[in-house]
Structure 1
Amino acid sequence: MSEQNYEQRSLKLLGVTARMQTLMINQNITPLELVNCANAARAMYLTATSNKKYELTGLFYCDFCNRDSSEKGMLLVAGLRNTHICSECVDICRETLDKKRPCGE
């Protein structure tokens, strides 16, 4: 494929993906370990850049879809380590698990 068909950001992301795949192979890192590392880095970034205004207003975000708690009808459930999941993402997870369960359980 021609590189001119891609936006600059897409090309950058493709390069990052290729480097991550190489790193996984060379360092014998599993995809789960890489995801856990990314989640830890994201949590550290959010902690370092958190704005006190959000803490005072009680504005929280779903860690899966990034919707905020100010949206009408949004219900967030808090978890460990300041994680949150909205009711819509819970429903999606429930549907996914129901599809993966063997019949009769």
Structure 2
Amino acid sequence: MPGTGNFVGEFMILFGSFSKFTLITTVSVFGLVFASVYALYLMQKAYYGTPKTDKPLPQMDAREISILLLLVVLLVLLGVYPQPILDTSAAAMSNIQNWYSASLSTTGL
């Protein structure tokens, strides 16, 4: 989903592969949209569906809330501003790209 850390990676992969593998990328985009809709449907059923029991759930304590908030903030921050992570992995990704390009040139794809 847009605004999360996974979306940035998925978007970059699909954007980079579209020019070379248009059909596969198009099918992948539809799969990504279907997965997002399905995830939203599951969340809607889990959080807003009819409860199976009338027994209330125990409340989260301060430690659990702080851990959850930290993870949510980091996930949204990574989705909105992924550049520090991309800079960290740039050297490794450059090596992988060079290796992949060399293997493509020898196989003729």
Give the alignment's TM-score, normalised by structure 2.
0.31
Higher relative contact order (CA 8 A, sep 6+): 2
More strand by share: 1
- TM score, norm. by length of structure 1: 0.32
Q: Whose radius of gyration is greater, 1 or 2?
A: 2
> Would you tell me which structure has more helix in proportion to its own residues?
2
